[in-house]
Structures are given as structure tokens and as C-alpha cells.
Structure 1
Amino acid sequence: DSKMILTVLLLLALLPGPGNIAIGARAVQSSTYDSGHAQNAVDGNSNANYWKGSCSHTSYETDPWWRLELPAVYNITSVTIVNRGDCCGKRIIGAEIQAFTLLEKNQKNKSIRKTTEGQFVNIFLPGSRKILTLCEVQVFSDNIAVGAKAVQSSTTPTLGNPEYAVDGNTDTDSRRGSCSHTLTEANPWWRVELPGVCNVTSVTIVNREDCCSDRIKGAQIHIGNSLKNKGNDNKLVAVIGPTLSEITMTYKFKATRGRFVNIFLPGEDKILSLCEVKVFTGKKELE
């Protein structure tokens, strides 16, 4: 299995961009020197001075590594590394960025090449007497909703938790436990909180197919930063029309900046069921 060694630029003051799914995720490394804990590399602080306490740092060793566990399996499209800037910037030369889905013995790691599916991201520095220092690692995905925090207006007692709509599983049979489902109520809604404030350019909705696919007709997609009225007063970007035979529906619109994406279904005696919601961004902004 061939591996691609990526050239890592020295970035002295890059702030974490919206859509960075690595912030706060669990990180480990092969060893730790002083206070250079693995978690420092995903704390959202991109200060490149190690002595400011926001960089990871291994001991001198053979083949040091650092690993990130994302909240779920993502299509990883890019990784940004903030290198140490106060000294020793050349230490990182030759480091490899790898992504994989499962932690298995003797697994074949994948280099980040175009889009790579994975839940784990490794930074691996081959060689003897090496030190690996990372001041920030940012990971970006095309669908930034996978594994994000989701809530809804109500939930059926047995199935239909809101996070089922962002679990990465697009099974359209609600009975198999991968679709959200509200109670029958007035104006049901569902909301996902993105990893940061993002420029959202499209939303894909996978509708229920085992029955009742027409229930979603008239649902509205709202995007913004406010939680007023549960987020349902944010900017309206699309309305779901008759679904006919379409189960997967993609709505593209002018880039809309926001942290919250709401699906709101106006009316009395309504049920909102979503088998998957995917959220995509265009060019990322710096905060």
C-alpha cells in the first residue's frame, strides 16, 4: 500500500477555519514530552509558539506518531497542520498524514489523496531519533454534519432519535433504526449544530422510503447563528416540494453563513422523519 508524504507548510498564525471537525476530538500520541499533550493539537488554538502551551510534543524516539479519533466516519477532504514556529520547524519534514476507518493490527493506512473515508487521522514521522510537534491539526470533510450534535422538537418512544439523521447511515427504512422521527405535533423541527460557523452551499436530505415519504412536503431548510425560536427563524434557503419518486434530494443555494441547520415542517398534525441530513460547504472562512 503506497503512502504519500505531504509537504507541510510552516503556518505561524492560522486560525481554525469553520468546518474543522477535529476541534476537541480525542487525540493520543506515541509519547509525551513535558506538557506537550496530544490534545493540545486539537484545542482550537493555533499559536505556533510551543512555550505558550498549545502544541503537542513527543519525546525523542523512533517513528513517533500522533492520532486523532473523529466523532464518526467522515469523507476527509483536507488536513491542515500548524507547525512549530518558535524553533525546530524542519523536524516535521517527511511526516506522513494517514486516514483509516478501523483500528486493526497490521491495517493498511490510507494517505489523504482527494477524498478519503476515515474516522482516525494519523500523523506519522518515520525514522530514528525523531520528535513530532504539532501546534494544531485541522481536519475538513465534505459533509460536515456527520456525527454533529442534533436535537428535535420531540422523539418517538422507541425509535427516531435526532442524531440518527447524522450518523452517516443512509438506510431509508425507519424500522431499522437510522432515521429521526418526531411525534405527531404542530410545527415539528430538527436541528444540527455544525462544528463551527460555516459557509453552507448545499443540503442533501435522505427521506424515508418504507412508507410515508410525502410527509416531508413543505419542510423548510433554515441556516444561521441564532437559536431564537429554536433556530427556526434563521434564513430560509430552501423549501422541500413534492418528492414524487425522489428519496435523496439535494438543495443548492447561495453560500449562507451559519452554525445551525434547521429542518422545520409548518402545520398541524405533522410528523418529521429524516433518514440522513448532509451539509456541504464551499470556501471556508477564517474566524
Structure 2
Amino acid sequence: MHYIHQGQCCNAGDGYFGWVCNTTNGCFCKQGQTCQKTLSPNCPGHCVDNPWGIGCVDEKHNLAFRKPTSQSSTEGGNSYPPSLAVDGNNSTDACATTNQENNSWWQVDLGGLYVIRSVAVIRPNNCQTISMYIGNDTTQQGNIQLMATCSFEQTVDPPVLARYVKFSKPGLASLQLCEVIIRGYTYPYNTAFGKTASQSSFIRHNNVNWTAKYAIDGNTNANFGARGCSHTQNENNPWWKVDLNATYSIYSVTLVNRDGINGRHLKNIEINAVLPNNTFNHCASRVEHLPHGGTVELPCNSAPVVGQFVRISLTHNSPAPLTLCEVMVKGYKYQGK
């Protein structure tokens, strides 16, 4: 890890990140400001919420520390429980250990969605290759093969939005993990707030045009009468779209459904990130309707997906309205590679 202590943040507006817009080091910085890089547990001064990088709490903190864990079995009864791998003790004398069994596994629940940048593993001697899964489906086995080295750090590139990290060992074997250290950061900020939105149509009700802007006004009130929701006509394949004014790496989209019986229409949802050349990058789908008056975050299936626009549409077989009381898009300005 490079320790850089002071310098000029990139002069490109909120949302850009890195040391002079370098994605390897630094904080999320505010335009024209200087970030002081220290080893204190925060990014002082002039950084936006949820910074990462040298001196920033989310990058330094182990996301897995003392979080709930589970494993396929425990050797010696309860002598080597799964919690030993997230207790902050890097010693190889006390490790989470399964029985000798087929397809042994260990898993940590981070308790929420995090953007995961790297995973470090400490194991005892004579280590064999294991697999790792990072995602939101607890039934999955490892799909990332890790090196046989006992102590290593695996960079996750591009970073993944996930709640669970799982290790597995194929065949008849015991899985031992002495410590698991997960680096990353919390939610990106809402990039859609106050931007320009459009939709396939709108209704006029109580002398108000219920246009697309009401879904990104910061008002999460699910009561349609509170003037906080967008609303299209009854039509085939209605859509709503926000222009983020720049290309973003998008991790998730949160929707607030209207309350009451008319909340039944928000189902068969398709969410895409769209590039300026009209290339669609699929983010997420949902068949069942959102809870009436409920808020649901839909992580992008292959996060991050890249686009300047976020388009939400319904794929009903019959005409229906699209009503959105709030849309929140979590992401960061795209830096490319």
C-alpha cells in the first residue's frame, strides 16, 4: 500500500475520486480542495461522504470484523467456530476449521451491501487452493479461484457490490481460515438527486403535471397526494429516465413505491444503464411488485454497470402506469481503465 500524505485533489467536481483523479490512491474529493492524507481514522477536511483511500476509515476498516459467520461444520464440536476468522487475531494458532468433508465452506454476512475492493486471507501452513464467492446469493459456491499461498490479499477489480463473502474447498478436505480481512467502502452517494429526468408520458391531476422530476426531488413520501411521485399514463411499456450528466459506474438503484392499492402496478421492472450512443447495460430486473409504500434497493447484477442515463421501464402485457415516488442511483463517476 502506498502512503501519500498530502496533495491536490482532482479538480473535476464532486464524485471524482483518487489522487489527482487516479483510482488507486486518495479520497473522494470536493472540487478545487486539498485533502490531507493522514493515518487517522477519517478523511479530514474537504472530502465527500463515504470516502475511501489512504487515511479514510472505510478503506482501513475490516468490514468482516466480528460480523456473523457460518461454516459447513465445526471440527471438535465448538472448538474451532467460524467466528475465529473475524476476531481480529491474525495468529495461526486459533483458526476457524471445518471437519474433513466434501465441499467444505465458510461464510461471513457483512450485514448490508458494501463495495468490496479486496479480500485478505490468513491460513496455516501447507495451504491448498480454495475458491471465493462475493455476492448476494448464499447458495452459491466459490467462483473465484485463489492462490495456494497461505497469506495473501486478492484485489477485486472491478469492485463488487455484495453482502456475503464465501470460501469453499472442493473435494474431501478440511477448510481452515485464521483471519479474513475485507476492505471496501459503504454505499456510493445518490447521483440522481436533482438531475434532469424524463418519462414516456405524464398525467395531470389536481392541477399538477406529475412529471418525471418528482422521482428525484429528495421527497420519499409514498403518499401520491403529497406531490412526491412521478406518474405516466396507462400505456404499454411505460418508462422513466434520468440523465446523470456524465458517465457513471452504477452499483444499485433504489425505488420507492406509492402506497395504497395503486402500488400494485410497480412490477415487471427492467432497469438499464444507458450510454450516450444508446447502448443498454442491464442493471437489474424484478418481476414481483414492490411492497405498497415500500422502498427496495436493487443491486446491479454485474455491478458496476456503466452509463450516463438510468432507464426504468415496465414490461406488462397490458397497459399500466409507471409511478415512482423516488429513485436513488448509487454510483461514482466513471474513470475508465
**TM-score between both structures, scaled by the size of structure 1:** 0.52
From 276, 284, 297, give the equivalent of 1:238: 284
| Whole-Å separation in 1 of the counterparts to 2:249 and 2:49 | 24
From 182, 187, 190, give the equivalent of 2:237: 187
Give the secondary-structure state (helix, strand or coil) at the position aligned to 2:299: strand
Aligned twin of 2:30: 80
From 180, 194, 199, give the equivalent of 1:152: 199
The 5 A counterparts of 1:200-279 are 200-226=250-276, 228=278, 234-243=280-289, 245=291, 247-253=294-300, 254-267=303-316, 268-279=318-329
Larger radius of gyration: 2
User: Is the CA contact 2:197–2:212 (under 8 Å) kept in the aligned structure 1?
Assistant: yes
The 5 A counterparts of 1:15-34 are 16=12, 19=15
Change (3 A) 1:161 1:283: closer
> How big is the shift at 1:19?
4.2
**TM-score between both structures, scaled by the size of structure 2:** 0.45
Letter in 1 for 2:191: I
Structure 1 unaligned segments of length 5 or more: list them.
1-6, 21-45, 47-76, 85-95, 99-110, 116-140
Greater RCO (CA < 8 Å, at least 6 residues apart): 1
> How big is the shift at 1:278?
0.3
Aligned twin of 2:248: 198
| Whole-Å separation in 2 of the counterparts to 1:15 and 1:97 | 16
Letter in 1 for 2:306: R
> How big is the shift at 1:251?
0.9
| Whole-Å separation in 2 of the counterparts to 1:241 and 1:185 | 18
| Whole-Å separation in 2 of the counterparts to 1:113 and 1:266 | 36
Aligned twin of 2:152: none
Deviations 1:100-131 (A, max 9, x none): xxxxxxxxxxx96758xxxxxxxxxxxxxxxx
User: Is the CA contact 2:267–2:290 (under 8 Å) kept in the aligned structure 1?
Assistant: no
Change (3 A) 1:197 1:282: closer
Aligned twin of 1:51: none
Aligned twin of 1:143: 190
Structure 2 unaligned segments of length 5 or more: list them.
21-26, 35-43, 52-187
Aligned twin of 1:9: 7
Deviations 1:72-125 (A, max 9, x none): xxxxx94334479xxxxxxxxxxx957xxxxxxxxxxxx96758xxxxxxxxxx
| Whole-Å separation in 2 of the counterparts to 1:184 and 1:227 | 29
> How big is the shift at 1:283?
7.8
Letter in 2 for 1:156: I
Q: Percent identity?
A: 28
> How big is the shift at 1:194?
0.7
> How big is the shift at 1:16?
2.9
> How big is the shift at 1:284?
4.8
User: Is the CA contact 1:18–1:197 (under 8 Å) kept in the aligned structure 2?
Assistant: no
Q: Is residue 164 from structure 1 mapped to residue 210 from structure 2 by the alignment?
A: no
Letter in 1 for 2:7: L
Aligned twin of 1:69: none
Letter in 1 for 2:269: A
Deviations 1:154-185 (A, max 9, x none): 01013421010000110001111110000111
Change (3 A) 1:181 1:227: farther
Deviations 1:185-232 (A, max 9, x none): 11110000113100001110011113311201102101121464xxxx
Give the secondary-structure state (helix, strand or coil) at the position aligned to 1:164: helix
> How big is the shift at 1:245?
3.5
Change (3 A) 1:272 1:244: closer
The 5 A counterparts of 1:61-80 are 78-80=28-30
> How big is the shift at 1:286?
5.6
| Whole-Å separation in 1 of the counterparts to 2:245 and 2:210 | 23
| Whole-Å separation in 2 of the counterparts to 1:150 and 1:252 | 21
| Whole-Å separation in 2 of the counterparts to 1:161 and 1:283 | 26
User: Is the CA contact 1:150–1:191 (under 8 Å) kept in the aligned structure 2?
Assistant: yes
> How big is the shift at 1:252?
0.9
